[in-house]
């Protein structure tokens, strides 16, 4: 055994979630394509329930360049990538998917661009001349192009494929952004580009986005939602934390529910104002709890008995908020204010209280 080996020049971070059928093929490809480069790969696995970790461990025991970071109780492609990069000390870091959709043959070329100081970050791009996507239905292609255009509006530099999950960057460029990252959802590149203290110098290299080798895509409705959260955080998030943005957005939706129910209770059910306002508050509270549990606190989602207990504690918190809400709204209504102004004033006051207290009582961090 040689006495001292220098650390790697390039770390490739690969987030994994149930990718047992792809790891071995990917490592094999890296081994052959990165010949002559001092590299390592870090798989960041979010507690997959298939054989991803045993397969990775077996490979790591025979090749010291293969590493594994096992996260428990946390989920998310972006945050996995961030932690993978932070576990590395290499001057250059790449991020790529495990499923072989990204072309590993591009890696040496990306490294060359960074070594020659041609850019801070090199992006494997589907949307520059020479790049393309294989086997997408037109719906997925339209979604991707819409999300791309939406994302481009918040970036300071033009990037044809800011949604790419395949890129390489200088470690010092990453350090310029890491404290400002939102790290929610799938779009880590967008996050990095939008969070840097100074605009990053970007170069795009075309590649052919291949079909997935094995397993299935994790892209679902939640990913689209998290993308909107990311965009919100990168714009208004400078002033308010992301969870509050979500809570407020759902609160706004709840306000819509509230006003509809209130109107219905007043006209169709002919309830007294206070009773109608209380009914509307109850319905909106249950809707808000379910939505916040699934969206705002999706990473701490309460299930089974936890869901029931959570609903009860949320009801307690909101009940106190609602008592104040109803009395304020009734007071205003009694003072000849319109029904909707009275309703909004009561709901707005209680929502601030609800957010602050439920964050501590209902969805406390584990």
What residues line the site for ligand GDD (CB under 6 A)? 15-17, 19, 44-46, 75-77, 80, 97-99, 101, 163-166, 186-187, 217-219
Query: Is the sign of the CA dihedral 133, 136, 142, 144 positive or negative?
Result: negative
Smallest separation (angstroms) from Mn ion to the CB of 308: 37
Is 329 within 8 Å of 343 (Cβ atoms)? yes
Comparing CB distances to Mn ion, the nearer of 99 and 233 is 99
Cα–Cα distance for residue pair 166/365, rounded to 1 Å: 32
Q: In sequence order, what are the residues at sequence separation of 6 or more whose Cβ sits closer than 8 angstroms to the Cβ of residue 334? A: none
Smallest separation (angstroms) from Mn ion to the CB of 162: 17
Tokens of 138: 């037109």
Comparing CB distances to ligand GDD, the nearer of 29 and 263 is 29
Comparing CB distances to ligand GDD, the nearer of 91 and 215 is 215
144 is an interface residue for Mn ion by CB under 5 A: no
Smallest separation (angstroms) from ligand GDD to the CB of 96: 8
226 contacts which partner out of ligand GDD, Mn ion, none, CB within 5 to 8 A by kind? none
Cα–Cα distance for residue pair 102/107, rounded to 1 Å: 10
Interacting positions 284-313 with Mn ion (CB under 5 A): none
Kindly write out the interface string for residues 73-112 of this chain, putting x where it contacts Mn ion by CB under 5 A and - elsewhere. Answer: ------------------------x-x-x-----------
Comparing CB distances to ligand GDD, the nearer of 78 and 325 is 78
Comparing CB distances to ligand GDD, the nearer of 295 and 315 is 295
Comparing CB distances to Mn ion, the nearer of 78 and 101 is 101
Residue whose token pair is 């990252």: 181
Comparing CB distances to ligand GDD, the nearer of 219 and 308 is 219
76 contacts which partner out of Mn ion, ligand GDD, none, CB within 5 to 8 A by kind? ligand GDD
77 contacts which partner out of ligand GDD, Mn ion, none, CB within 5 to 8 A by kind? ligand GDD
Cα–Cα distance for residue pair 177/191, rounded to 1 Å: 9
Smallest separation (angstroms) from ligand GDD to the CB of 10: 19
Looking at residue 186, the DSSP 8-state letter turns out to be S
Q: In sequence order, what are the residues at sequence separation of 6 or more whose Cβ sits closer than 8 angstroms to the Cβ of residue 172? A: 91
Smallest separation (angstroms) from Mn ion to the CB of 300: 26
Is 350 within 8 Å of 322 (Cβ atoms)? yes
Smallest separation (angstroms) from ligand GDD to the CB of 74: 8
Comparing CB distances to ligand GDD, the nearer of 45 and 120 is 45
CA distances, 190 to each of 78, 160, 199, 235, 284 (Å): 10, 11, 12, 13, 34
Separation of CA 86 from chain center: 18
218 contacts which partner out of ligand GDD, Mn ion, none, CB within 5 to 8 A by kind? ligand GDD
Cα–Cα distance for residue pair 42/222, rounded to 1 Å: 26
Secondary structure of 191-237 in HEC code, one letter for each residue: HHHHHCCCCCCEEEEECEECCCCCCCCCCCHHHHHHHHHHHHHHHHH
Q: Are β-strands 121-125 and 167-170 bridged in parallel, bridged antiparallel, or unpaired?
A: antiparallel
Smallest separation (angstroms) from ligand GDD to the CB of 332: 46
Return residues touching Mn ion (CB under 5 A): 97, 99, 101
């Amino acid at each position: 055994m040689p006495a001292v080996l220098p650390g790697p020049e390039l770390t490739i971070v690969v987030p994994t979630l149930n990718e047992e059928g792809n790891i071995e093929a990917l490592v094999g490809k890296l081994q052959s394509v990165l010949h002559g480069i001092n590299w390592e790969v870090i798989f960041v696995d979010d507690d997959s329930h298939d054989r991803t970790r045993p397969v990775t461990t077996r490979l790591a025991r025979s090749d010291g360049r293969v590493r594994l970071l096992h996260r428990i109780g946390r989920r998310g492609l972006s945050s996995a990538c961030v932690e993978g990069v932070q576990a590395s000390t290499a001057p250059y870091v790449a991020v790529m998917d495990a499923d072989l959709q990204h072309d590993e043959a591009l890696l040496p070329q990306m490294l060359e661009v960074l070594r020659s100081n041609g850019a801070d970050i090199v992006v494997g791009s589907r949307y520059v001349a020479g790049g393309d996507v294989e086997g997408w239905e037109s719906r997925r292609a339209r979604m991707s192009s819409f999300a791309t255009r939406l994302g481009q509006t918040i970036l300071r530099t033009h990037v044809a494929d800011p949604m790419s999950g395949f890129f390489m960057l200088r470690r010092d460029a990453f350090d310029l952004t890491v404290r400002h990252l939102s790290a929610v959802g799938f779009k880590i590149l967008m996050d990095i580009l939008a969070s840097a203290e100074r605009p990053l110098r970007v170069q795009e290299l075309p590649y052919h986005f291949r079909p997935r080798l094995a397993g299935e895509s994790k892209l679902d409705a939640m990913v689209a939602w998290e993308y909107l959260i990311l965009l919100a955080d990168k714009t208004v998030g400078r002033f308010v934390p992301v969870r509050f943005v979500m809570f407020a957005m759902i609160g706004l939706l709840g306000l819509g529910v509230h006003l509809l129910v209130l109107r219905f209770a007043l006209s169709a059910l002919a309830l007294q104002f206070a009773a109608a306002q209380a009914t509307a508050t109850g319905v909106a509270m249950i809707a808000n709890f379910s939505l916040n549990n699934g969206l705002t606190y999706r990473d701490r989602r309460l299930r089974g008995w936890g869901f029931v207990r959570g609903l009860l504690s949320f009801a307690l918190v909101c009940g106190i908020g609602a008592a104040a809400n109803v009395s304020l709204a009734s007071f205003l209504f009694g003072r000849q204010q319109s029904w909707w102004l009275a309703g909004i004033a009561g709901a707005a006051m209680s929502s601030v209280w609800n957010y602050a207290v439920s964050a501590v009582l209902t969805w406390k961090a584990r």
